[in-house]
Amino acid sequence: MQDQLDLQDIVLLGRTFDEYYQMFQLDSLNLQNERILDVASGVSSFCAEANARGYNVTASDRIYNLPPRELEHKGKQDLNNVMWQLPELSHLYRWHRFRSVEALRTNRERALRLFVADYSQHAQERYVPTDYPASTFKDKGFTISLVSHFLFLYEDQLDYNFHKRTLRELTRITSKEIRIFPIVNLRGVRSSYVDRLLNDNDFQNLRKAISKVNYEFMINANELLTVYIR
């Protein structure tokens, strides 16, 4: 029996505004007053849906130099790959939010569809090609940075140095808070990099907190790491 998804690379699975709202405890923010960066945002529809609500959100990912059709194709391929594996891995997930694999597929397809439509119209305005750990954003250009299903989750593909350099870059371009979810790896175990970052001397001057959130799909993936810049 498999104990995790078999992923050779970071996959393009889109998540929605409602998921972000719960994963990142966005009810604790006055979103109208924030300049938000979605880090390694892939094909999530958060940027599209947030801007439609009048919020100021910028999405960033290394894939944003590709045309919409290519991203849509890759997103569908990755979704099919994950959906094919899920029946054998259903014991690793909590199904109160998505009642079945097909319900999950419908949600992910919706996110991809909304992303592609918005990216097709607003790629130059909202979607910035960014190959982390480097970026071209100005110092303190955003008040809040959100990191969804990127750091920690892919600890087998992204080493500690990558995590550290990415966090350092985010502290440069963020003025208030960096929020990272989840803090487990693909096996549903808290990443070994979490404690290393919490105790790293280079980040000693930053306050950090881990909190439970009202979102859990992958078992144990229900904690949010917040790094306070000020």
What Cα–Cα distance (Å) separates residue 217 from each residue in 33, 49, 197, 221? Answer: 30, 21, 25, 7
Assigned architecture for domain 17-228: 3-Layer(aba) Sandwich (3.40)
pTM of the model: 0.92
- On whether the CB atoms of residues 157 and 10 are closer than 8 A, the answer is yes
Phi, psi of 145 (to 5 degrees): -115, 135
Cβ atoms 17, 46 nearer than 8 A: yes
Mean pLDDT for 162-177 is 98
**The residue to which tokens 């985010």 are assigned:** 170
In this structure, are residues 171 and 200 in contact, taking their beta carbons and an 8 Å threshold?
Answer: no
- 3-state class of 212 per DSSP? strand
| 209: helix, strand or coil | strand
Retrieve residue 7's tokens. Answer: 């992923």
| pLDDT at site 203 | 95
pLDDT digits (tens, 9 = 90+) for 9-62: 566 788 999 999 999 999 999 999 999 999 999 999 999 999 999 999 999 999
Task: Report yes or no: 226 and 179 within 8 Å, Cβ to Cβ.
Answer: yes
